[in-house]
Amino acid sequence: MLRVRLHGRGGQGIKTASQVLGTAAFLSGFQAQDFPLYGAERRGAPIVAFTRIDKEPILERGPIAIPDLILVGDETLLEDSQAAPICGADALTTLLVNSEKDPKDLREKQLLPTVPVTFELTKLCLKHLNAGMILSTALAAAAARLTGMIPLENLIEAVEIELADIPPEKLRKNLDLVREVFELLDPVVFKEREEGEYSPSRLMILEQKEVRDAAPLITATGNMNLRKTGNWRIHRPEIDFEECNHCMICYARCPEGVIKEDVEGKPEIDYDHCKGCMICAQECPKHAIKTLWEMDYEPQSQ
């Protein structure tokens, strides 16, 4: 069985990518299982999706703990301890990262278990779709090609099935993107894992409890601040204080309440909780708030 895990952010098409991959595998004569895992988070929040592919009926259920193939659509997730895209990966895991960085440098910086395949999917998405954040068909094509199990014609048919509701011109652009990604990548050889790694656990009989005891009730107060929602951010607002006149309109417009006034009367952004909606930059009358890509941001040394 081939176990594939896809990581990205809400709005990037991670769920659709797993669906396209699963459908393409099914059309290629395999058993397939695909599903996402996410909660009520907004666009930009880390999400994960799974696809299993096998010649035999798939009896496994639930998230994939030890993947054979991991695809990371957003490079910034490698530094996100909550998203943990490399969790469960080992020397047998093939890792593809949407990045233009040198694979060996990326492995050394992020302490990856293996040298990744780096592939700049964002540029190809901008080229074909004029939208660098929509990675669904590009990720599905990359995964299908790396497996070496799915012919291009079956992948194209899967895209046509899963994207049947979009306008014909957009579908054509997605198919052109799929063809280019498929052509630029080469299949990899996956080594067989010992079945002991996936041996089923013993049957457990769960005790029936009262709803008040079994429900996941949160009774503590004031714990919202503990959830560091800044890791949902794709764009980072940065204030140019040479242009800022301290009008504090950004404070008034921020929907999350993460901008406050410091002791000098200047606006200060709480980056632990800023989700990068960039409303502050849009509302600033002096255009003193810049929009930076989070992955390009380098913290200044103290």
User: Domain spans of the chain?
Assistant: 2-195, 229-296
Q: What is the per-residue pLDDT for 211?
A: 66
Q: What is the per-residue pLDDT for 301?
A: 46
Q: Which CATH number fits domain 2-195: 3.40.50.2300, 3.20.20.80, 3.40.920.10, 2.60.40.10?
A: 3.40.920.10
State the fold for domain 229-296: Alpha-Beta Plaits (3.30.70)
Tell me the pTM.
Answer: 0.76
Q: What is the per-residue pLDDT for 302?
A: 41
Rounded distance between C-alpha atoms, residue 268 and residue 250, angstroms: 10
Measuring CA to CA, which residue among 163, 142, 175, 140 is closest to residue 24? 140
Q: What is the per-residue pLDDT for 241?
A: 94
Q: What is the per-residue pLDDT for 191?
A: 82
| Tokens of residue 188, six digits | 């990899």
Rounded distance between C-alpha atoms, residue 38 and residue 124, angstroms: 27
pLDDT in tens, the chain (302 residues): 999 999 999 889 999 999 999 999 999 999 999 999 887 667 888 999 999 999 999 988 889 999 999 999 999 899 888 888 999 999 899 999 999 999 999 999 888 988 999 999 999 999 999 988 899 999 999 999 999 999 999 999 999 999 999 999 999 999 999 999 999 999 998 887 776 555 555 566 667 777 666 666 666 666 777 788 888 888 999 999 999 999 999 999 999 899 999 999 999 999 999 999 999 999 999 999 999 988 766 655 44
Burial environment of residue 188 by CB neighbours within 10 A (0 to 12, 13 to 18, 19 or more) = middle
Q: What is the per-residue pLDDT for 142?
A: 96
| Tokens of residue 229, six digits | 């929602």
Measuring CA to CA, which residue among 296, 9, 293 is closest to residue 134? 9
- CA-angle at 299, arms to 252 and 113, nearest 5°: 120
Sheet of strand 31-37: strand arrangement: 31-37, 46-54, 2-9, 69-72, 94-97, 117-118
80 phi and psi, to 5 degrees? -100, 110
Bridge partner list, 53: 2, 32
Domains 2-195 and 229-296 share a fold: no
Instruction: Output Rg (C-alpha) for the chain, integer angstroms.
Output: 22
